[in-house]
A and B are shown apart, each in its own frame.
Chain A
Amino acid sequence: QQQVKQSPQSLIVQKGGISIINCAYENTAFDYFPWYQQFPGKGPALLIAIRPDVSEKKEGRFTISFNKSAKQFSLHIMDSQPGDSATYFCAASSGGSYIPTFGRGTSLIVHP
């Protein structure tokens, strides 16, 4: 059972555009929602994370929007750059289980 559904599977954006990746979860006990960025040959690296007590968090060009009632959260990459080309994973975890559940990943390509 996939508890975190991520879309789209792949995304192609022009330089300067906005990249949007969406995730939906089922378990209402989840209370921590990180996003990871993974480059080929590297392990995932934490990009930005949010807890459900806020609806939005922004760090530089990266913004997480969180909709608790819809059980959805999304990553927005503003002014996308070719260096942002990577695979992005959303994840969710709860303080009770400590086991994070990952989305399937989104392969982002930013064309120059």
Chain B
Amino acid sequence: KAGVTQTPRYLIKTRGQQVTLSCSPISGHRSVSWYQQTPGQGLQFLFEYFSETQRNKGNFPGRFSGRQFSNSRSEMNVSTLELGDSALYLCASSLWNSGDTQYFGPGTRLTVL
């Protein structure tokens, strides 16, 4: 079975721009969660999608949004980028919910200049 895939792997943007990241979960997995990983804050939960609905949300500003498609693929969007948004963005999929065993993708490394 193919693992979780994320595109692009690396991205460089400037302040004020917006960015869209993509995640394809493991086949059959219906829950997709997004995390931000930074050296200072560690792994922080952004949101979880299940059946095209946002089911849980972490403590991030509204500039961070996401969606899930009928095939469970998910995208996250960050608008009006700030320098502090530079991070590794990880997507994880699981069968039913983020409390189940999660399988992570390789991440997208976002650098904001």
Q: Does B90 contact A (CB under 8 A)?
A: yes
Partner of A98, one of B43, B44, B48: B48
The main secondary structure of chain A at its interface with chain B is loop
Chain B: interface residue total (CB-CB under 8 A): 21
The answer on a CB contact under 8 Å between A98 and B102 is no
**Closest A-chain residue to B41, C-beta based?**
A104
Q: State the CA gap A36–B104 with chains docked (Å).
A: 10
Query: Distance in Å from the Cβ of B17 to the closest Cβ of chain A?
Result: 24
Q: State the CA gap A49–B102 with chains docked (Å).
A: 11
The answer on a CB contact under 8 Å between B106 and A99 is no
Chain A residues contacting B48 (CB-CB under 8 Å) are 98-99
Chain A residues proximal to chain B, CB less than 8 Å: 32, 34, 36, 41-46, 49, 89, 93-95, 97-105
